Amino acid sequence: MAFRGPRVWLWRWRRNPLKRRSDTVEAWVMLGAWVLTVVCGVLAGWTAARSVEQGLARERAEWRPVAGRLTERAPGRAAAHSGERVWAEAGWTGPDGSARTGQVGVAPGSAAGTAVTVWTDRRGRLVTEPATAAQARVRASLVGGLAGVTVGVLPCAGGRYLRGRLERRRIERWAVEWALFDAVRGRPAG
């Protein structure tokens, strides 16, 4: 059984007579890139998720359901429990007492005068139904995760680019040193 020596955890920082300054620089560049990747990704994801969740909570607080009525017959034929929705013109009264109209999703074939629920903002403008708290959490998580990954890619890619540059530089130096070594030993350059 061969003895391999103690296992070194931070192998890039260990003492080694063959280690060059470029090895240490590369180690620090990669450590910095990984730290920035994690920190930037987490902060961006958390900030984006919080912003989305706050925006959706504000919508839930400000948007209100209003009773309205269809002003025309909805297109299509009524289908029992199909879940299909079509757009039809509906009317409602705004917060200032004025009559408002707009397109709302209803079951096909709904008759004119059918009661519908219309969602409006503070000014009485037509809006979509706000997301529930559970839907808001899912959306915020997805947006936060996407933002975190997107932002985290930047320092990671930058670190990989710098590492590639350091690697090319190291290979060029090795070529020069091997040429010098060959010259000292009397071999023609290869």
Q: pLDDT 10s per residue in the chain (190 long)?
A: 555 656 656 655 667 777 777 778 888 888 999 999 999 999 999 999 999 999 999 999 999 999 999 999 998 887 666 778 899 999 999 888 899 999 999 989 899 999 999 999 988 889 999 999 999 999 999 999 999 999 999 999 999 999 999 889 888 988 998 888 888 887 765 5
Query: Is 177 domain-assigned?
Result: yes
Please check whether residue 173 lies inside any domain of the structure.
Answer: yes
Residues 121 and 153 in one domain: no
Residues 6+ apart with CB under 8 A from 57: 133, 136
Q: What sections of the chain are H helices per DSSP? A: 21-62, 133-185
Determine the pLDDT at residue 8. 56
Structure tokens given for 159: 């670190």
Q: Domain check: are 46 and 69 in the same one? A: no
Q: Mark whether 45 and 84 lie in a shared domain.
A: no
Q: How high is the pLDDT of residue 177?
A: 86
Residue 102 belongs to a domain: yes
In this structure, the answer to whether residues 96 and 70 fall within a common structural domain is: yes
pLDDT confidence of residue 24: 81
Does 138 share its domain with 52? yes
Handedness of CA 163, 169, 172, 176 (dihedral sign): negative
- In 3D space, the residue among 99, 149, 155, 151 whose CA is nearest the CA of residue 124 turns out to be 99
Provide the residue type at 87 as one letter.
Answer: W
Q: Is residue 142 part of a domain?
A: yes
pLDDT of residue 50: 97
Look up tokens 């408002």; give the residue: 100
User: In this predicted structure, what is the pLDDT of residue 119?
Assistant: 93
The verdict on residue 15 lying in a domain is: no
Cα–Cα distances in angstroms (integers) from residue 185 to residues 125, 173, 182, in the given order: 87, 18, 5
Q: Among residues 109, 129, 149, which one ends one of the domains? A: 129
Q: What is the CA radius of gyration of the chain?
A: 33
Residue 14 lies in a domain: no
- Residue 69 β-bridge partners: 91, 115
The parent domain of residue 142 ranges over 20-58+134-185
The C-alpha angle 171, 176, 179, rounded to 5 degrees, equals 125
Number of domains in the chain: 2
Judge whether 7 lies within some domain: no
What pLDDT is attached to residue 185? 83
Mark whether 142 and 48 lie in a shared domain: yes
